[in-house]
Amino acid sequence: MNEKRTCLECGETLKGRADKKFCDDQCRSNYNNKANSDTTAEMRNINNILRRNRRVLVSVVKDDGKGKISKSKLQDKGFNFKYFTQTHTTQKGTLYKLCYDYGYMPIENDYYVVVRWGKE
Ligand SMILES: [Zn+2]
C-alpha cells in the first residue's frame, strides 16, 4: 500500500502529500516549460520548412516588394508548396498563400507572383 511516488521532473522520491507530483516549485516549472515549448521533432521540422519557404520568397521579391518566378525555379530553391501559414483573399477574389509576411499566387504558364505583405 506504500507506493513509492517520484517527482515527474527529476525522479526524486516524494515525501508528503499523496497528490504531490513534484519535489518543489523549480521542478514543477521546469516540467511545465518543457511541456509547453515547441520541441517536438515534427513541429521543428515544419517550422524549418516555413522559414525556408519564407527565405525563398524573400529572394524572389525585388525592391518594390514584388517578384515573379517559375514553379520549377521555386522547387529548385527548395520551396515546399505543401506548407504555408495562412491564406488571404483579395477584394477581387484572388487567393494568396502566405508564409508569414510573404505571399504568393499562381499566374499563367506555371509562374508565381510573389509579394511582400505590407500594411494595407
Ligand atoms: Zn524534482
- pLDDT (tens place) for every residue of the chain, 120 residues total: 457 889 999 999 998 888 889 999 999 999 988 877 766 778 889 999 999 999 999 999 999 999 999 999 999 999 999 999 999 999 999 999 999 999 999 999 999 999 999 754
Q: How close is the Cα of 34 to the center of ligand 1, in Å?
A: 14
Considering the entire predicted model, what is its pTM? 0.68
Neighbours of 33 (CB within 10 A): 10
Neighbours of 23 (CB within 10 A): 19
Burial 78-101 (b: 16+ CB within 10 A, else e): ebbeebbeeeeeeeeeeebbbbee
Q: How close is the Cα of 101 to the center of ligand 1, in Å?
A: 42
Q: How close is the Cα of 39 to the center of ligand 1, in Å?
A: 21
Q: How close is the Cα of 35 to the center of ligand 1, in Å?
A: 15
